[in-house]
Copies of this chain bind each other. A is one copy, B any other.
Amino acid sequence: MDLALTDADLAFQAEVREFIDTYWPEDVRRARATSSRFEESRGHSPEVRRWIDALNERGWAVPNWPQQWGGTDWNPTQKYIWDKETAKAECPQLSAFGARMLAPVLYTWGTDAQKNEFLPKIREERMIWCQGYSEPGAGSDLAGLATRAVREGDEYVVNGTKLWTSGAHVADWMFCLVRTESGAKKQEGISFVLIDMKTPGITVNPVYILGGIHSVNEVELKDVRVPVENLVGEENKGWTYAKGLLTHERTGIAGVARSEVQLARLKRIAQETGMDGGSLWDDPAFRTRVTELEVDLEALSVTELRVLAQVAQGGAPGPESSILKIRGTEIGQAIAMMTIEAFGYYGMPYPEQTLIDNEGPIGNPYVMPTMKGMLYGRASSIFGGSNEIQKNIISKAVLGL
């Protein structure tokens, strides 16, 4: 039992750091972290493109994929180092829907044609995906979805409405859960299909999130014709594939490294925020609360390591990895709220973009991205299986209740 890194690990860490310093240097980081263009910062600037190209060239774009599709042979410690270092430098990640959500389904259950067609484009971020799961009547109860696909010859005809579809307005393709058989148990009769967003019959309506952020959408599907070769795996087995995903990569979902960055930033902001002639950081009450969060986060980071160690020994992360999602989102939200609190009155300004472009930020330059992140982050405990659902899962699967 020990936490020490081997010499090989340390060498790898140095290599990673050098790579990051080259392709995602300090000045780029700061500019991105203080950008008030929250939504755009999720898209592709030239700096991001350069980073992704460099990743692909180095073979580090998709460390967790099978090697034959561009993955690495890293051991769990190396993966951990990679996650930690890239998070610390706030490096951009490949769009999660393609690289983390869809790809595992494809390389596990896809046809060769599907793999050859899609995996390279995802890896190079030349094809952006969105996820068509939730619907107006199917949120936490995902299996209650009503979008219907009826087979007509070589095509499925899809009708229905998807909701909360992140990035549908910029996506090239959507992977989608549709009902192909009715009358069956709710979880049965669902299929997993890939839909080109340029197909006639698709309408994307923006849903503005608090703070005017456009990130999620409503996607209307009206007689959308999808070739049967875009079915993944077997018909009516889609729920199994999607559910497998939900426990997959759950470690990443804790957002430990990201929260560590945010917490360090919160401390810096508190040190730079004036209070009674000193700084907010001198205030024992505030400091105590930050320290409490720090302990919470450290505990979670070790819990994550424990889960990683299980995986390394060949085990799958058990349902107890749900802890990571629950505590991770709670901590992330608490850090965001406390950062807003640190700004004091300067948490309020929410100027139009043009005002910032012309005259610079108001108060602290981190306010706008923090505020948008805080507002957007309220979704973290709702989307992807709300924390209440996660607790139901633990109750059943771990405690046997």
How would you classify the secondary structure of chain A's contact residues: helix, strand, loop or mixed?
helix
A288 at the interface (CB under 8 A from B): yes
Identical chains in the assembly: 2
Report A395 CB to chain B, min CB distance, Å.
16
A285 proximal to B (CB < 8 A): yes
| Docked CA distance A79–B285 (Å) | 40
Cβ < 8 Å to B, chain A residues 289-333: none
Query: Which residues of the other chain, B, contact A288 by a CB distance below 8 angstroms?
Result: 284-285, 288
Complexed CA–CA distance, A189 and B284 (Å): 60
Closest CB-CB distance, A398 to chain B, in whole Å?
22
Question: How many angstroms between the C-alpha atoms of A63 and B45 in the bound complex?
Answer: 77
Contacts of A285 in B (CB 8 A): 284, 288
Closest B residue by C-beta to A285: B288
Residues 49-74 of A at the B interface (beta carbon under 8 Å)? none
CB-nearest residue of chain B relative to A289?
Answer: B288
Taking the closest CB of chain B, its distance from the CB of A111, in whole angstroms, is 49
Contact pattern, A 267-297, Cβ under 8 Å of B = 1, otherwise 0: 0000000000000000011001000000000
Question: Bound state CA distance, A50 and B125, in angstroms?
Answer: 87
Which of chain B's residues have a CB closer than 8 A to the CB of A284?
A: 284-285, 288
**A142-177 with Cβ < 8 A to chain B:** none
Nearest B residue to A288 via CB reads B285
CB distance from A245 to the nearest CB of B (A): 34
Could you tell me the distance between the alpha carbons of A288 and B284 in the complex, rounded to whole angstroms?
10
CB distance from A31 to the nearest CB of B (A): 39
Q: Write the chain B residue with the least CB distance to A291.
A: B285
Whole-angstrom distance between the alpha carbons of A288 and B288 in the complex?
10
A328 to chain B, nearest CB (A): 26
Q: Mark A220-247, 1 if CB is under 8 A from B, else 0.
A: 0000000000000000000000000000
Q: Cα distance A284–B282 when bound, in Å?
A: 12
CA distance A37 to B156 in the complex (A): 81
A189 to B: closest C-beta gap in Å: 33
- Nearest-neighbour CB distance to chain B for A115, whole angstroms, equals 50
The CA-CA distance from A284 to B288 in the complex, in Å, is 10
Q: Which residue of B lies closest to A284 (CB)?
A: B284
Interface string of A118-153 (1 = CB under 8 A from B): 000000000000000000000000000000000000
Q: What are 5 A-B residue pairs whose CB atoms fall within 8 Å in the complex?
A: A284-B284, A284-B285, A284-B288, A285-B288, A288-B288
Q: Nearest 5 A-B pairs (CB), nearest first?
A: A284-B284, A285-B288, A284-B285, A288-B288, A284-B288
